[in-house]
A and B are shown apart, each in its own frame.
Chain A
Amino acid sequence: MNAEDTAAMQALDNRLRKVFSGLDATPGFEQRLQARIATLATQPSEETRARLEHEHDLARAAADRAARLDGLVIVIGGVGSLVAVWRFAPSLVQLYSASLERASPAMIGVATLAAAGAALWAVLRQFDVDPRRLVGA
């Protein structure tokens, strides 16, 4: 390499230094990084998030299972009730007629009121209303 080549190479080196020495992140880089990390620090870690999601999935699956079981119980109970009514309907009608013949009108009125009260009680409890409060007890 002659002197001319050496000078050309030196000039090239200087130009390259000039071009690339300014290569750096923009001002405020560290502040932006700190802000980003502060945000991350307040968020749950990946592990915690995965655990919470897993627990949520388990709870949802348990609720689904319980709902399916409830549905099955209602269906079986309903079918059982229909079968029972179908099977015992004649004797129940007979018993009811005999009771009516034997009971006085006052007794029938009390029994009707008691049945209506029990039904109302059940409905109110279903909506989380305490019937005792309604009557000031």
Chain B
Amino acid sequence: MDESIIELMRAGRPDEALGRLVPAYRRRVFGLAYSILRDRAAAEDVAQEVFVKVWQAFDSYDGRARLSTWIYAITRNTAIGALRKRSRLVSLSEPDVSAVVDAMEARDAPDDGGDRQLWRLVDGLPEKQRQAVVLFYQDDRPIEEIADMLGMPVNTVKTHLHRARARLAGALAADKENAA
């Protein structure tokens, strides 16, 4: 798939290249942006921006890195930029930052009570563990692909995922005991 997209890019047909690229990468770009931002609306804005940037930069893609690696790097940078911008805006306009973050989390969480609890637990994980969990369970992705998306070694992703699962299982067991 990537080869045909690159061929279209090199043939000076950016619109057709984008037409193939978006369906192939939409979920992955959105998932990666969401794993960084923890907000669906912001992740969608970032995903749009990423594809616009990719479309504008087709000419500058030199093929040294894989297409996916290039797109994921753009996504990470754009999402981190959006996160910084949002942090600045929130710190300037809202005295109670945690209330804003809680409101965003509540808006994104599923309605089902049990899933909401799990969503909250995932949200409370350390950043890298949370990103690994979101990207792994979104599409049952291979660890190698998640490593490419996050720009980190495969073993590091494995470790984050393992620790995240252990932590979630522990937290769920503790919740169950408290409820009993």
| Chain A interface (Cβ < 8 Å from any Cβ of B) | 5, 8-9, 12-13, 15-26, 29-30, 32-33, 36-37, 40
Judged by DSSP, the binding face of B is: helix
B46-62, CB under 8 A of A: which get 1 and which 0?
01100110011000000
In the complex, the number of residue pairs spanning A and B with C-beta atoms less than 8 Å apart equals: 76
Cβ–Cβ < 8 Å partners of B56 in chain A: 40
Cβ–Cβ < 8 Å partners of A15 in chain B: 114-115, 118
Interface size classification for chain B = 35 or more
* 6 contacts across the A-B interface (CB closer than 8 A): A8-B172, A20-B133, A24-B30, A29-B22, A33-B18, A37-B15
CB–CB B137/A37 < 8 A: no
Candidates A13, A19, A24; contact of B26 at CB < 8 Å: A24
Kindly state the separation between the CA atoms of A22 and B119 in the bound complex, as whole angstroms.
13
Judged by DSSP, the binding face of A is: helix
Kindly state the separation between the CA atoms of A40 and B22 in the bound complex, as whole angstroms.
17
CB–CB B140/A19 < 8 A: no
CB–CB B30/A40 < 8 A: no
- Residue B169, interface by CB 8 Å: yes
CB–CB B137/A19 < 8 A: yes
Candidates A19, A25, A36; contact of B115 at CB < 8 Å: A19
Given A15-B118, A36-B52, 16 other A-B residues pairs in contact with their CB atoms under 8 A: A8-B172, A12-B169, A12-B172, A16-B118, A18-B115, A20-B133, A21-B137, A22-B110, A25-B27, A25-B30, A25-B44, A26-B40, A33-B22, A33-B52, A37-B52, A40-B52
